[in-house]
Amino acid sequence: MSAFGALLTAFVAVCGAGVVLALVLPSRHAARVVAWAGAIAAVVLVVMGATILVGAPAATRLWTLAPVGPLLVGHDALSGVFVLVTGLVLLPASIFTASSLPPLAARYSVRTYAVLFFALTVAIVWILIAADAFSFLVTWELMSVLSYLLVVFEDEVEAHRRAAYLMLAMSEAGFLAVLAGFVLLSAGTGSLAFDAMRGTSNLGAGVRATIFFLTFFGFGVKAGLVPVNVWLPRAYAAAPSAFVPVLAGITLSLGLYGIFRVNADLLPVSSIALGLLALVIGTLSALVGILYATPENDVKVVLAHSSIENAGIITAAMGAGFVFTASARPMLAAVAFLVALYHLVNHSFYKTLLFVGAGVIADRAGTRDLDWLGGLIRRMPWTAAAMLAGVLSIAGLPPFNGFVSEWLTLQTMLRAAELSSTGVKIIFALCGAGLALTAALAVTCFAKVFAMGFLGMTRSSEAEAASEPRASALAPMAMLAALCLLCGVLPTYVIGAIDRAVQPIVHASAAEALVPPFFVGQPGHDALPAAFAAEFHDLGANVGQGVAPGPGLVILHRGGTENPVVFAASPTDLAVMLALLLFVLFVIVRYGVARHRATVRRVCWDGGIRRLLPEMTYTATGFSNPVRVIFQAVYRPTSVEDTRETVARHFRTAIRRPGETVHVLDRLVLRPVRAVMFGIAGQLARIHHGRLNAYMAYALLLLLVLFGVFASL
């Protein structure tokens, strides 16, 4: 048995043991079973993903079904990246269940949760290693149903049931689209095996475009792309705190995996127009997601809308890769696809961290509403530190991982200057501007999350009584924060790992384009122009030589003779410099300024009042109000006046105008479609009048029409 087969067997066995233990042991132990067995299964997945990543692609036949042919399990570097990330996310998410699951045991069956959790874990991994369409589709459907059951786990709440049902309905619609796409794809080859589908060239342009539309929007449902994302904020808000990290960190990535697997690997996009469509949809998703995240005050809803934003950024980078592929620019396509996968990895880490933190806040402070939080840094300092790492990561600030992938995304958009079409360049420029605006709004949004949640005064008695959670909640946040920091400080190694997945698909190495071998003795160093290498050695490009493995710690994209450097940065050096500057600043303040000044505490003057009340402080609503005002044309809130009157309708005791924001997609897409459908249904309803003779006439008319149709054939 191969190493992959042994690890896969061990993983399935651990998950099966978890199910058995959860059913056999007393229910009070079910949460610990999920935590321990899930953690062990995650470690196996990490080893499996690393083994796949460094090994050669392979496929194994499990058994043969007469109607569909052989069922295959396979792996390549692309599936290795996703399996590895799944394990790294599943490990802290499983440990977190030890503290987040027991509060549900009083009303719900934790044993049922354990069974569903392990079954979903196996289904997710099987999707990533499926090597034929039948296995892929069956496990995809299983994953969707199990995700629905876990989202609706707290089914006593009507809003949770409605959100989960909407998620299931849209997932099924997406599944049907993906199914149709695979039917068309397999019809061109006569086989359901991915190896047979790969590189299909006998399909016409119309069929290829149809397959792209079906799979892009079908998988886009799971990824939360515009306009099929209406389910995502509601489902994330309804999901239990124990499950939502898996929902955001793993299952969302599966939708992006499906788009990439089909449209970059199995049937590469050959039309620039389709690539531009993906680029525009990704940019719109990113912008719409962050616009609706910024004014929200519920931490989970903010993070849910932000997931749409990040899925949009990833899709925009993929769209750029599709355009470069169709334009015969394999090196630029490799860079774009690598950037997309890099941001996907980063999003999985920091979004899982933030959702774990949101669950901790809701449990320890009694609310997720930022208007009622504040001051938590004094009561939950370790949680605040981990959340700060997540906030800096998702806001794209150094030295954390979000900075590297977002910076590379914007740089990739600028590479459209090498294309010949002016129209394509304009679209890239507009999308780049949209992504830049998205990045700026993300900083505003998550500055609000941390400042209003952890700084200032507490604005509720529950937040006043908050305290640090158990180690089973702090440890996962520490793991994820460390991953965010490592992926931001050592990006050249992440680029080298992800390049293994991109290179076989595009037949070009993004690592060669982004990580020059500045370290002496590394392969390719002698090929660098002597003056070029000497100049960058003087700038410190060889720092770390002899200590750090690999070609170097500098990200640099080379151009031609006239412009030898297109863009360059060293996030590793940047992190070191930031640390040194902070240390110097601390020394100056601590031993310079503060040493010669006595600290004197006085009662603050608060406008003549005795003390500043919490409701007088700056709230999250006030913080995000400028964004709400500037983008009012997008939000278009409706206001309903609620007035209380007294004597003879002459005196009003209160006037309240609660606002209701209708999502732009509901307003522009769903409501018009619903109006048309209701109009058609209303017209059809007129024929249901209860007159038997009319019904017989309808049947006779239908028969005459059918006879006429068949007679003309």
**Which tens digit of pLDDT belongs to each residue from 344-359?**
999 999 999 999 999 9
Prior bond of 399 cis (ω within 30°):
yes
Residue at token pair 């786990």:
153
How far is Cα of residue 342 from the mean position of the Cα atoms in its chain? 12
pLDDT score at 382: 95
pLDDT in tens, 252-288: 999 999 999 999 999 999 999 999 999 999 999 999 9
CA-based torsion, 433, 435, 439, 441: positive or negative: positive
Q: What is the pLDDT of residue 308?
A: 95
Which stretches within 517-661 are classed as H helix? 530-538, 571-588, 620-630, 632-635
Average pLDDT of the segment spanning 5-33: 92
- For 296-308, how does the pLDDT look when each residue is reduced to its tens digit (9 = 90+)? 999 999 999 999 9
pLDDT at 679 over 90: no
Tell me what the mean pLDDT of segment 529-534 comes to: 85
* pLDDT attached to residue 331: 94
Q: What is the pLDDT of residue 156?
A: 85
Who contacts 447 (Cβ-Cβ below 8 Å, separation ≥6)?
391, 395
Q: Which stretch of 241-245, 292-296, 494-498, 677-681 has the lowest confidence by average pLDDT?
A: 677-681
| DSSP 8-state class, residue 604 | P
Tokens found for residue 503: 């290179």
Of all residues in the chain, the percent with pLDDT exceeding 90 is 59
Q: What is the mean pLDDT of residues 92-119?
A: 92
pTM, whole model, 2 decimals? 0.91
pLDDT digits (tens, 9 = 90+) for 117-154: 999 999 999 999 999 999 999 999 999 999 999 999 98
pLDDT band at 334 (very low <50, low <70, confident <90, very high): very high
Cα(495)–Cα(507) distance, integer angstroms = 16
Strand partners, 656: 642
pLDDT confidence of residue 645: 60
**Res. 57 pLDDT band, cuts 50 70 90:** confident
Cα separation of 648 and 672, whole Å? 43
Two structure tokens written together for 19: 């199910």
Share in percent of the chain as helix, strand, coil (round to 5): 70, 5, 25
105-142 as b/e: b if 16+ CB within 10 A = eeebebbbbbbbbbbbbbbbbbbbbbbbbbbbbbbbbb
Residue 608 confidence (pLDDT) = 65
Whether the Cβ atoms of residue 327 and residue 272 lie closer than 8 Å to each other: yes
The pLDDT of residue 173: 94
Contacts of 705 (CB under 8 A, 6+ apart): none
Query: In the predicted model, what is the mean pLDDT of the chain?
Result: 89
Q: What amino acid occupies position 378?
A: R
Location of structure tokens 């969707």 = 144
For CA atoms 25, 93, 478, 458, give the dihedral sign: negative
Buried residues in 446-462 as b, exposed as e (16+ CB within 10 A): bebbbbbbbebebbbee
pLDDT of residue 686: 74
Task: Give the tens place of pLDDT for each residue, 392-421.
Answer: 999 999 999 999 999 999 999 999 999 989
- pLDDT at residue 609 greater than cutoff 70: no
**pLDDT over 60 (residue 647):** no
Give the mean model confidence (pLDDT) for residues 191-219. Answer: 88
For residue 221, what pLDDT is reported? 95
Whether the per-residue pLDDT at 606 is higher than 80: the answer is no
Q: Where does 76-206 show beta strands of DSSP type E?
A: none
Q: Give the pLDDT band (50/70/90) at residue 324.
A: very high
Q: Which of 188 and 195 is assigned the larger pLDDT?
A: 195
Comparing 20-34, 574-588, 615-629, 685-699, which segment has the lowest mean pLDDT? 685-699
Structure-block tokens of residue 483: 């991953």
* pLDDT attached to residue 650: 59
Q: Which pLDDT does position 539 carry in this prediction? A: 83
pLDDT value at 641 more than 70:
no
Residue 436 in this model has a pLDDT that exceeds 60: yes
Residue type at position 362: A
DSSP state of 456: S
Higher pLDDT residue, 187 or 361?
361
| Amino acid type, 668 | L
pLDDT for 607: 66
Tell me what pLDDT residue 61 has.
Answer: 84
Q: How confident is the model at residue 592 (pLDDT cuts 50, 70, 90)?
A: confident
- Which of 256-270, 312-326, 572-586, 628-642 is least confident? 628-642
Per-residue model confidence (pLDDT) at position 491: 94
Choice among 32-41, 312-321, 562-571 with the minimum mean pLDDT: 562-571
Higher pLDDT, 178 or 626: 178
Length reported for the chain? 713
Helix axes 381-394, 422-454, angle to 10 degrees: 170
Nearest of 81, 193, 180 to residue 136 by alpha carbon = 193
Residue 381 has pLDDT above 90, yes or no: yes
Compute the C-alpha angle 397/449/623, nearest 5°: 105
Please report the DSSP string for 36-81 in residue order: HHHHHHHHHHHHHHHHHHHS--EEEEEEEETTTEEEEEEE-HHHHH
Cα 84 to chain centroid, rounded: 16
Check if the beta carbon of residue 114 is closer than 8 Å to that of residue 33.
yes
Q: What is Dmax (Cα atoms) for the chain?
A: 103
- What integer is the mean pLDDT of 348-374? 92
Average pLDDT over residues 605-618: 69
